[in-house]
Amino acid sequence: MKIFNYKKSIIAIIVVSILSVSAGCRKDFLNREAQGSYNQNNYPYPQGAGPYDQFINGAYSVLRSFNVTVWPFIGIVSIRSDDADKGSTPADSGDQIQMDNLGVTASNGLVDAFWTGHYDLINKCNFVLERVAKDPNPNTPDNLKIAAQAEARFLRGYAYFMLVRSYGRVPLVDTVITKSAAEANIPQSQPAAIYQFIENDLTFAATNLPASYDPKFVGRATSGAANGLLAKVYLYEKKWAQAMDAANKVMTSGQYDLSTPYAQIFNESGENSKESVFEVQATATASNPTAYGSQYSNVQGVRGTGQWDLGWGFNVPSTALEAAFEPNDPRKARTILYAGGTSIYGEAIPAGLPNPRYNNKVYTDPARRAQIGNRFGWWNNVRLLRYADVVLMYAEAANELGGTANKTNALAALNSVRARARGGNNAILPDVTTTDQTALRDAIRHERRVELGMEHERFFDIVRWGIAADVLQAQGKTFIVGKNELLPIPQNQIDLSKGVLTQNPGY
């Protein structure tokens, strides 16, 4: 027992314990920063130019997302219209079937996803505005602040414009919710108030955004994009003079023209061309075939197997759209891809596909597919606003305004679009010559339909023109006037608000 000294060992143990206890009591023992992640206090915001870019980029990221410009989007803006059928296999996606049949219910998942997606975008824009307002750096130049505000307000205006056209009355949220849930529970505003809000945002954006960017920022919102969108907003409000004026600003900006051949606009090489007023930017690399991309082309891609499995095959051109093209209009072939036909890259499309027609404007370059190692076209930009759209808006507003001078301008604008479509072949698509307001109106509406086929305008256009019931009932669909112009307010959102949000008529 002598090898062991009782007292010494007690002392040793107690000393070790006290040492460890005091180690535990180190004042900073409980101060543990989050590992490997930033919070709002320690993010190393880069100094210098564009101190708000990180936040704005977040808004662009949402713009690219599934809920904003992909899956609910094609259903709401296109499948509902007479130009597109649901596609895919007959029973695939009950939610999209509802869109096609105009039997949308308040619990339809697309209706909720579209709503939350756009409010996500609005929230990101409000965050940018808040960061500008509460910038901790007093030396940030005012011009940078104004540019950031203009960009955020452009995107917010876009989001509210989609919401007001889709749902009618929606809540106007213009601040970042910081305190309580009650603060976020805002009742709906009337469409007139929402349109006024959008006009304010887009006017501010049009005034303060640059006309163009350095190529490394191509695709950011420009004053041309803001004026183009504003022109469209005015058209929906039937403010013809303002619409004409806004469209004219785009046409005289010197940034855009109709020089891009129609067939090239939708190619990978046609991205951000002179035709492009605003498009959702997407790209892909072999390492990240989807992370930087948009699924827009994937959900509409050819639904084959093996190498012909290019996507889900939704939103396919209808026979009505097929029939709408004038004889030999080359735009038809660029709009509709036929099973058993030949692709624009010369590939033979297999005959045995679930659908006879697919949206040819999302067809991707096989070389690009091989390079990325992915067939699903996540790199394809979404053309949200094309120059031809602006020119036709100008034509429409001018014709509606009436008067010889305006009608002459309208005709010139209309024919400039037809001339480009002609592609030098004078045997087709003759110039429109009528100056009768009604005949010209029909010609412009027809031109919008075929020029912008499968391009997100048709459903809203026919509702705006008041012809939706006629057009869709002619297709054998049940369009109830006073109901089907709008989507239902998502039941989820009504539930979340405990009834502060109210349902649209008829639902």
Partner 1 sequence: MKRKVLLVLLCLFSINYVFAQSIKVTGKVIDANSNETLIGVSITVKGSTAATQTDLNGSYAINVPSNGVLVFTYLGYVAQEIRVNGQNVINAQLASSNQQLNQVVVIGYGSQRKRDLTGSISSVKGEDIAKSPNTNPISSLQGKVAGLTIVNNGTPGAAPTVRIRGVNSTNSANPIYVVDGVIQTNIDYLNSSDIQSVEVLKDPSSTAIFGIQGGNGVIVITTKRAEKGSTRISFQSSAGVQKVPNQIDVVDAAGFKKLYSAQLTNLNAAPFDFTNYTANTNWQDLIFKTASMTNNNLSISNSGDKSTTLVNVGYSNQDGVLRNSKFEKYTFRLNEEIKFNDNIKVGGDLNGFHYISNPADVTLNNALWAAPIVGVRQDANTYYSMPSFQRAQVGNPIAALNRNDKTSINKGYRVVGNIFAEIKFLKKFTFRSSFYTDLSFNESRGYSPLPFSFINLGEGTIPTTTTIDNSIKTSVNQSEANYRKFQQDQTLTYETTINKDHKLTALAGFTTLYTADQSINGNRRDTTLNIPNNPDFWYLNIANTANPGNYGGGGSESAQESYFSRVNYSFKNRYLLNASIRRDGISKFAPENRWGTFGSVGLGWVISEEQFFKDHVKGLDFLKLRGSWGTLGNAQGFGENLYLPGLNVTDVGVFGNNVYPSVSPAYVSDPNLHWEVIRGLDVGMEFQAFKSRLNGDVTYYNRTTKDILTRVPLPAVSSYLLTNLGTISNKGIEISLGWRDKIGDFTYSFTPNFSYNKNNVESIGDNFNFQISGNGGANRTNSGQSIGYFYGYKQTGVYQSTADLDKMPAFNSSLPGDIAYADINGDGKITDADRTYLGSPFPDYNYGLNLSLGYKNFDVVLEGQGVAGNYVYTQRRTSNFATLNYETNRLNAWTAPGTNNIEPILDNTRSNNYLMSSYYLEPGDYFRLRTVQLGYTFTKQLIQKVGLQSVRVYLSGQNLKTWSKTTGYTPEAPLDNVIGAGADNGIYPIPSIYTFGLNLTF
Binding to partner 1 in span 28-67, by CB under 8 A: 29-41, 43, 45, 53-62, 64
Q: What is the rounded distance in angstroms from the CA atom of residue 227 to the CA atom of residue 321?
A: 29
- Based on the shown chain and the rule CB under 8 A, indicate whether residue 425 belongs to the binding site for partner 1: no
Which 264-283 positions form the footprint of partner 1 (CB under 8 A)? 271-272, 281-283
The stretch among 135-143, 179-187, 245-253, 386-394 that binds partner 1 (CB under 8 A) is: 179-187
- Based on the shown chain and the rule CB under 8 A, indicate whether residue 288 belongs to the binding site for partner 1: yes
- Based on the shown chain and the rule CB under 8 A, indicate whether residue 9 belongs to the binding site for partner 1: yes
Give 191: exposed, middle or buried? Use CB within 10 Å, 0-12, 13-18, 19+. middle
State in angstroms the smallest separation of the CB of 391 from partner 1: 25
Comparing CB distances to partner 1, the nearer of 143 and 178 is: 178
Comparing CB distances to partner 1, the nearer of 308 and 465 is: 308
Which one, of 362, 294, 297, 301, lies nearest residue 88 by Cα? 301
Q: What is the rounded distance in angstroms from the CA atom of residue 189 to the CA atom of residue 323?
A: 40
- Based on the shown chain and the rule CB under 8 A, indicate whether residue 22 belongs to the binding site for partner 1: no
State in angstroms the smallest separation of the CB of 492 from partner 1: 7
- N-to-C CA span, the chain: 91
- Based on the shown chain and the rule CB under 8 A, indicate whether residue 1 belongs to the binding site for partner 1: yes
- Based on the shown chain and the rule CB under 8 A, indicate whether residue 493 belongs to the binding site for partner 1: yes
Q: What is the rounded distance in angstroms from the CA atom of residue 479 to the CA atom of residue 468?
A: 8
Which one, of 251, 286, 231, lies nearest residue 396 by Cα? 231
- Based on the shown chain and the rule CB under 8 A, indicate whether residue 16 belongs to the binding site for partner 1: yes
State in angstroms the smallest separation of the CB of 99 from partner 1: 11
Give 340: exposed, middle or buried? Use CB within 10 Å, 0-12, 13-18, 19+. exposed
Q: For residue 397, what are its two tokens?
A: 């507003």
Alpha-carbon separation of residue 237 from 197, 226, 241, 502 (angstroms): 13, 16, 11, 24
# residues near partner 1 by CB under 8 A: 117
Q: Give the contact letters, 198-227, x = binds to partner 1 (CB under 8 A), - = no.
A: ---------------x-xxxxxx-------
Which 118-137 positions form the footprint of partner 1 (CB under 8 A)? 119-120, 123-124, 127
Residue 278 φ then ψ, to 5° = -150, 125
Q: To which residue do tokens 């998942």 refer? A: 109
Q: What is the rounded distance in angstroms from the CA atom of residue 53 to the CA atom of residue 148?
A: 8
Which 346-365 positions form the footprint of partner 1 (CB under 8 A)? 350-352, 354
Comparing CB distances to partner 1, the nearer of 317 and 490 is: 490
Residue 498 φ then ψ, to 5° = 55, 40
Q: Give the contact letters, 428-467, x = binds to partner 1 (CB under 8 A), - = no.
A: ----------------------------------------
Comparing CB distances to partner 1, the nearer of 127 and 262 is: 127
Candidate residues 76, 84, 106, 316; the one interacting with partner 1 per rule CB under 8 A: 106
- Based on the shown chain and the rule CB under 8 A, indicate whether residue 367 belongs to the binding site for partner 1: no
Q: What is the rounded distance in angstroms from the CA atom of residue 218 to the CA atom of residue 212?
A: 8
Amino acid identity for residue 486 in this structure? L
Angle in degrees, CA 333, 276, 391, rounded to 5: 80
The stretch among 2-10, 137-145, 411-419, 462-470 that binds partner 1 (CB under 8 A) is: 2-10
Which 65-94 positions form the footprint of partner 1 (CB under 8 A)? 89-94
Q: What is the rounded distance in angstroms from the CA atom of residue 271 to the CA atom of residue 41?
A: 38
